[in-house]
A and B are shown apart, each in its own frame.
Chain A
Amino acid sequence: MKILVCIKQIPTSDININDSGKWITEGNNSSLAISRFDENALEEAILLKERFALLGISVDIDIISIGSQTAAESIKRAMGMGADNGIHVITEDKGYVSGAVTALRLATMIKKISKAENIIKMGDAPYSCCPYDLILTGIMSEDLMQAQVGPMLAEYLNIPCVTSVVNIKFDDNLNDNVDITDKIEVQRELEGGIRQNIKVKLPALLTIQAGINQPRYPSLSNILRANKKKILTYNIVDAQSSNSFDPLKVVRVEYPEKKREAKLLNGTTKDKAIELKNILKQRGLLI
């Protein structure tokens, strides 16, 4: 069984609007991380691998990330957590890339890789073109927050998609007649504590919501193993398809308007604490 996890590297430092006003700059102590929901997606893939291993089914986890040179660190971290192979599509595009473009690039890469490695999965046509049984993405990226790439990628690959997944189950009744990798049961989350149960045939794409698991830390043995492995790298032109022009364009970035006064308290920590107490007392909120 093969699982693909799509991960994105995002800045976690403070960000500011840059001088051109068209995009952002990262703060001084710039640090990068895997977008939080993608870490949940990755953890879920590893948990599935462990659960399938108990049933004697081996699972291979691929990681794909489209990003700058530094994204390799995030791929390495993912392999340190337990992923098997890394695919890095290098781009120096720093600005806004719309979901449609990223999804199309991912789809193009997936099709290309599957041909190269000739790992076409059996199954019912016309879905046989997807080389993965399961593709996981985050519900949304923490920087662009589009919640688009997963559902769009599923369309490009022509496989079913379930968004906001908070639970994955599979039928682990070992029975010769049933292929347990054929179908999984998932639960997706709606507003107000509502959940929907869905059974979906593989291959499928799931977008993962936080709360499904607690992402683990990379282990030393996995890091050592990962260091020995090569990340497959491609240039962004490899992921280009004939119609990959960006339908959207960011003309500028703005700080949102203030909905309330946002009175800033000044002075030392102690000054601020005392001033806040006085304000709250005046308002009868503190005795």
Chain B
Amino acid sequence: MNTKTILVIAEYLDGKLNPITDELIACAIEITKIFDLKAKDISGVKAISEIKVIHVKGINPLESEKYKSSLVPIIREINPSFILMGHTSQGIDVASGLSVRLGCNCITGVNKIIYPEYVDVGKSEDSKSNILFSRLVFKGKCNAIVGVEKPENITLLTIQSGSFYIKDCCKEYNNIISNEEYYPSNVDDSTISLIEYGDIAYSRTTKSKLNEAKVIVAAGRGIGDKENIEYLKKMAACFTGSAVAGSRPLIDMGWLPYEQQVGITGAIVSPELYLAVGISGSSQHIAGMKDSKFIVSVNKDPNAAIFNFSDISIVEDCLSFIQAFIDNIP
């Protein structure tokens, strides 16, 4: 009864393993470390005994109603303490519904695993939950630190990509990680007959001129108006090898073409300089530009999440700032 298993559901697209799977394993190791620490703190709590990575074969994970149904018996059989999936389009499609079917806890978009400071029951409100999870709220401006009320239940987590990395020190956990293939037998679910999964279409090109640019001047909703894109272009013209880009809402509103969208559903860029103007810094945008060599952000909100990822922070109205930047050639 004391052995705890963490179940990692490997993510596949077109039969290829998605890199998020490594991050899920890294997160599983973080959880294991916390339980190891705990085992030292209070006797009777057994550490994690196994990290089981399952590779579900013979079923297309994009056929999500079917996939959910096939996962239920597998999970019941393994009976893990934690289930980890990616906070990806696939994870979002499957995890929450799956948690209802399993009657388990579900926390989405987890970016950090936290050891509660007080483990003695009664000392603090953290005490009930023996482990805490951090997830972004309010456009990424803060993290909510979440605990589960019934830690004895299974807890399903979807993991924010870019939050966990396999480090060298993780090697000591190699002996508890196992990989297993699962071939679900005939899944029986009445919802399945109601949904027909068709083709995958690569309708939008992911090739983007942004990849060649040395400097990217990117705007978000803070730019205010379609006409103001002209200011953005003028600012970009101050640099050689520059390109104009935008956050997704600008593309959705038709202010800029899709090729100029930066983020998880757009281009992933890493120019010498990324200048973000009026962009709040949601995780989906950050994922597309965080590896830029130098990041400068202009935002009127001093708490904007984008500043956490910036080398230089400028709290200003973006149009006034652009104007000042263009005008003042020292």
Contacts and interface: CB of A to CB of B under 8 A. Distances in A.
Interface of A: 14-17, 24, 36, 96, 99-100, 103, 126-127, 139, 142-148, 151-152, 154-156, 158-164, 187-201, 204, 210-211, 214, 245-265, 269-270, 272-274, 276-280, 283, 285-287
Contacts of A144: 137
A44 to B, nearest CB: 13
B88 A277 contact: no
Given A193-B204, A276-B296, A277-B328, A17 B142 contact: yes
Contact of A258 (B134, B254, B308, B328): B308
Interface residues of B, number: 99
B106 A274 contact: no
A262 B313 contact: yes
Contacts of B95: 151
Contact of B142 (A24, A158, A258): A24
Main secondary structure, interface of B, reads mixed
A143 B146 contact: no
A154 B12 CA distance: 24
B316 to A, nearest CB: 6
A193 B205 contact: yes
8 contacts: A126-B190, A155-B101, A188-B89, A204-B194, A253-B143, A261-B311, A265-B314, A277-B328
A277 B203 contact: no
Contact of A190 (B90, B141, B205, B328): B90
Contacts, number: 261
Main secondary structure, interface of A, reads mixed
A24 B136 CA distance: 13
A152 B88 CA distance: 17
Given A161-B97, A247-B153, A254-B134, A263 B145 contact: no
A179 to B, nearest CB: 15
A48 B210 CA distance: 36
A161 B192 CA distance: 11
Contact of B191 (A158, A164, A278): A158
